[in-house]
Structure 1
Amino acid sequence: MALHPSRRTVLRLLSRLTLSVCAITASAAAWAAEPLRIGYSDWPGWVAWQVAIEKGWFKEAGVEVRFDWFDYSASMDAFTAGKLDAVLMTNGDTLVTGAGGAKGVMVLVTDYSNGNDMIIAKPGIKSLADLKGKKVAVETGLVEHLLLRAGMKRLGMKPGDIEIVNAKTNELPQVFASPDIAAVGAWQPIAGQALKAVPGSKAVQTSAEEPGLIYDVLAVNPASLNARRADWQKVVKLWDRVVAYVDDPKTQPDAVRIMAARSGVSPAEYLPLLKGTRLLTLDEGRKVYEKGNDYKSLYGSTEVANTFNWYNKVYSFSQKVDSYIDPSLTTSALAAAK
């Protein structure tokens, strides 16, 4: 018996709908099977993940992860371009990518800078105040720019007292050798390269003077976080194992060997860098996630960065800090460990 035209139309629509659902399901399954893509760069609190990579801990935890190595600003660019599911960056710089259209949710606080970020001046310059009227090279709008401004504010200096010269962070050791540049702002190990580039130079300000000004975080694309929350939970839970391996005197030599190799320096050169980065356990991170107005809180610290970014026209609109912070994965990991 011939089908009525309307019935044939319905059957064709149902067939197409079934095919579409199958295609979407297959696409989602394929996406879920893809490894989480995380961008990282040369900072001790992020290079520490190399231990988990080489020890095969992600596989043990049942999560596929691919870490991609970048220069720092390039990692932010890759995240902004949608090439990564997450990136390791500072809390203030998370606002920068977010304002540019690539929102990142801070699901894990890995550490805070405790001296490894620094303003390095040429011989004869004894203090930050001595830089008045001189040129200082930093990557404008990023973390060393914030560190410099924080120090200037503490001394009562005005923004115009120092002339800022913009330069990529990885190029600063070469820039520092320029005769008209009095100082540069960089983090380790690039800061160490700058110190070697100009014999007799020294740090006139470090992040140890502003503990909590610079938190380092794992920032995840919200869509990836929503779609693969269970996988991200496994990544966060693994962080305590990494911190324990790096901090334990028995295993630290092996951790330093692994981290140094990733950074391309000797273990002897790398070991001192650990002192300038305060790795945070999940429980210590939980305390940082508590709301507050000072540097002890991720909220307070990030609000300071937000004000700095907006004032210096890094972005046009003040960001809603709370929307960038999600403590739930840290809280869940701690609850599961009990």
Structure 2
Amino acid sequence: MKTTKHRFFALVFTVFLLIGCCLPASAITEPPTFTVGWSVYAGWNPYFYMQKSGTMKKWADKYGIVIKVQRFDYAASLDSFVAKNIDACTMTNMEALDMPAAAGVDSTAIIVGDYSNGNDAVLVRNGLTFDKLPGQRIMLVQKTVSEYLLERGMVLNGQQAQLSKLRLINTSDSDIVPAFMNNTSNPAVVTWKPLASQILADKSVHSIFDSSKIPGEILDLLVVRTEVLNRPDGSGQRFAKAISGAWYETVQQLASGQSQAIKVSAAASGDSIDSYKEQLRTTSLFATPKSAADFTTGPNIKQKMELVRQFCFAHGLLGQGVKSVDDVAIVYPDGSVQGHKERVRLRFNAAYMQAAQQGKL
């Protein structure tokens, strides 16, 4: 009897093995894989921790997917996203509008992580003031929020008429600190922390304007290509839920001062723990999904985005052939649209932040 049972189970095992061997490769499917690009910034370094700590994998496993995390220089991350080489990317609200949206890539912001509250700054040597900046070499990453911050500083300091005389030197974020520090003939630079903090360590340099003067205008987002989010198999929705769950688990650890989360996030940019904590103090982090969802569904975001889109249009950042600021439109969670409804390219979606708030992830 025992031998008969053993033979029976051996036969069943052999049949299943043969079936598995004969299945076409298409029938053995790998889990959907998504790649997220991030670059060095206080509000984006947590993506490095999410990967290293296993938090990202835990949430990805929950939804039956794989999430890869890849570090880039900032401009390169945007180029990769526009080229559809990665599925999601950390970026500011302005770059979401003037890069993928302007290039015709329909994109959706699913996480509003924070706003810069002093992290971005205009730094000068030799006691320069805004009225002395026209004609001077100003180093920055062009077509990013650094250029936006510089212009807002000029306008708010009564120098709007001098904007056309600014001399901008495009410099990548990986090169900007040594390029500025090693050449004292460069009198001004616009950048963000931790790069700004490294430059300010030189006592001959000081800040004349920073993002705390324009709260809520420089938003830090996680943006997903809309076509990825809306994949027919539902994997894009699962991705959005997984990464939102991982994000809010991580942010709560940061907000509560969890030492490992802060230590690894600091290490993402080669910073000391003290330096990273200093950066977080000038980052207005939406530490709870409720605070993020409330901001995204409130009226302030529309007012801030109006300033940003007008800047982008005035500087020709919305793409070739764009004749009106309304040609690259933005839709908000309440369905309201800034611009032509048939030209929506950037979407703010609060659904995943709200799901996190309600404990439904």
5 Å-filtered alignment, 1:275-290, equals 275-280=281-286, 281-290=288-297
Count the aligned residue pairs.
306
Residue 351 of structure 2 is aligned to residue 328 of structure 1? yes
User: Aligned-pair distance for 1:23?
Assistant: 9.3
Tell me the SS of whatever aligns to 1:220.
strand
1:270–1:233 Cα change, 3 Å: same
Q: Distance in 1 between matches of 2:281 and 2:190?
A: 19
Among candidates 33, 36, 39, match of residue 35 of structure 1: 33
User: Aligned-pair distance for 1:263?
Assistant: 1.0
Q: Distance in 2 between matches of 1:278 and 1:254?
A: 21
Q: Which amino acid aligns with 2:263?
A: R
Q: Percent identity?
A: 24
Q: Distance in 1 between matches of 2:264 and 2:250?
A: 12
Q: Comparing both structures, which one devotes a greater share of its residues to helix?
A: 1
Residue 146 of structure 2 is aligned to residue 115 of structure 1? no
The residue aligned with 1:16 is none
Among candidates 279, 282, 306, match of residue 273 of structure 1: 279
Among candidates 265, 269, 281, match of residue 259 of structure 1: 265
- TM-score normalized by the length of structure 2: 0.78
User: Aligned-pair distance for 1:337?
Assistant: 4.8
The residue aligned with 1:224 is 228
Q: Which amino acid aligns with 1:214?
A: I
Structure 1: unaligned runs, 5 residues or longer = 1-21
User: Aligned-pair distance for 1:26?
Assistant: 5.6
> 1:138–1:167: 8 Å Cα contact kept in structure 2?
yes
> 1:240–1:282: 8 Å Cα contact kept in structure 2?
yes
User: Aligned-pair distance for 1:315?
Assistant: 2.6
Structure 2: unaligned runs, 5 residues or longer = 1-22, 332-343
User: Aligned-pair distance for 1:209?
Assistant: 1.0
The residue aligned with 2:67 is 65
Deviations 1:201-245 (A, max 9, x none): 011111111111100000001111112212211211332211110
> 1:291–1:300: 8 Å Cα contact kept in structure 2?
no
Q: Distance in 1 between matches of 2:107 and 2:199?
A: 31
User: Aligned-pair distance for 1:291?
Assistant: 4.5
Among candidates 244, 248, 251, match of residue 240 of structure 1: 248
Q: Distance in 2 between matches of 1:75 and 1:306?
A: 21
User: Aligned-pair distance for 1:179?
Assistant: 4.3
Which has the higher mean CA deviation after the structures are superposed, 308-317 or 37-46?
A: 308-317
Tell me the SS of whatever aligns to 2:222.
strand
User: Aligned-pair distance for 1:161?
Assistant: 4.7
5 Å-filtered alignment, 1:1-338, equals 29-30=29-30, 33-61=31-59, 62-63=62-63, 64-97=66-99, 98-125=101-128, 127-157=129-159, 158=161, 159-177=163-181, 178-196=183-201, 198-227=202-231, 228-249=236-257, 251=258, 253-280=259-286, 281-292=288-299, 296-297=300-301, 299-316=302-319, 317=322, 318=325, 319-322=328-331, 323=344, 324=346, 325-337=348-360
Question: Which aligned runs of 4 or more in structure 1 are off by greater than 3 angstroms?
Answer: 22-27, 127-130, 177-180
> 2:94–2:309: 8 Å Cα contact kept in structure 1?
yes
- TM-score normalized by the length of structure 1: 0.83
Q: Which amino acid aligns with 2:158?
A: G
Deviations 1:250-280 (A, max 9, x none): x1x2222101211112223322111111211
> 1:172–1:194: 8 Å Cα contact kept in structure 2?
no
